[in-house]
Amino acid sequence: MREIVFDTETTGLSPERGDRLVEIGCVELVNRVETGRHFHAYFNPERSMPSEAEAVHGLSSIFLSDKSLFADKVEELLEFIGESPLVAHNATFDFGFLNWELSACGRPPVCMTRMVDTLALARTRHPGAKHSLDALCSRYGIDRSHRVKHGALLDAQLLAQLYVELTGGRQIGFALKAEEPVVAIASVAAEAVSVPRPVRPPRPHAASAEELARHAAFVSKLSDPLWVGMVGNDVMA
């Protein structure tokens, strides 16, 4: 199965209030394995970059000023994602910006039924825990030491690893036939029953007269033993 894990960077939180998509990174998975194919692009938002957003991803208005418009890259993007499911962290945010940009250049939106939200997966699997990308990478031992700022392609690559872990790890789909261990166990049990075993005569276990005498001598030397005054049957009760 082919899936696309993607992430976006923007000028803010709301396309309806004028914020724009400035970066997208997409990573291809086939059967939960990265193929090495990816799509990555920066976009000129045709507006200024708020300082709060720049502090998150480090993309300045000057850096983006000579980059392509979203409309110039839309065909290449749509060709890459195809009809595959799209995986994102807090996916409604990324889908909202992607579909707003598609609508702005006269393209139909991506159907929300294609959305796979790793944030929702993480909340189900780890209720009450922290669900940021950083926190989840730490939980699953995914190396994020090179993540100084948010970056769409880097975050998509980290998210691809996280998605694999959230959906069962590298051995997803691996299973043994149920009958194999049952047959093996039954076979071993049958062999164990059929193996002849030597019959040993019972070994004597009663104390000898000499042992009883030594025991009585030892007990007589004890100071204030607990069983003094107790009846033998009471001790065993």
User: Catalytic: which of 38, 89, 131, 150?
Assistant: 150
The CA distance from 142 to 136, in Å, is 8
Q: 234 among the known binding-site residues?
A: no
Q: In what order do the strands lie in the sheet with 115-117?
A: 33-42, 21-30, 2-10, 86-88, 115-117
What are the C-alpha distances in Å from 138 to residues 36, 64, 130, 133, 134? 23, 32, 10, 9, 6
Q: 117 among the known binding-site residues?
A: no
Q: 52 among the known binding-site residues?
A: yes
Count other C-beta atoms under 10 Å from residue 159's C-beta: 24
Q: 57 among the known binding-site residues?
A: yes
Q: 9 among the known binding-site residues?
A: yes
Q: Radius of gyration of the chain from Cα atoms?
A: 35
Check if 40 is active-site. no
Are the CB atoms for 29 and 4 separated by under 8 Å? yes
Are the CB atoms for 81 and 28 separated by under 8 Å? no
The CA distance from 64 to 112, in Å, is 29
Binding site members for substrate: 7, 9, 52, 57, 155
Question: Which residues form the catalytic set?
Answer: 150
Binding site members for a divalent metal cation: 7, 9, 155
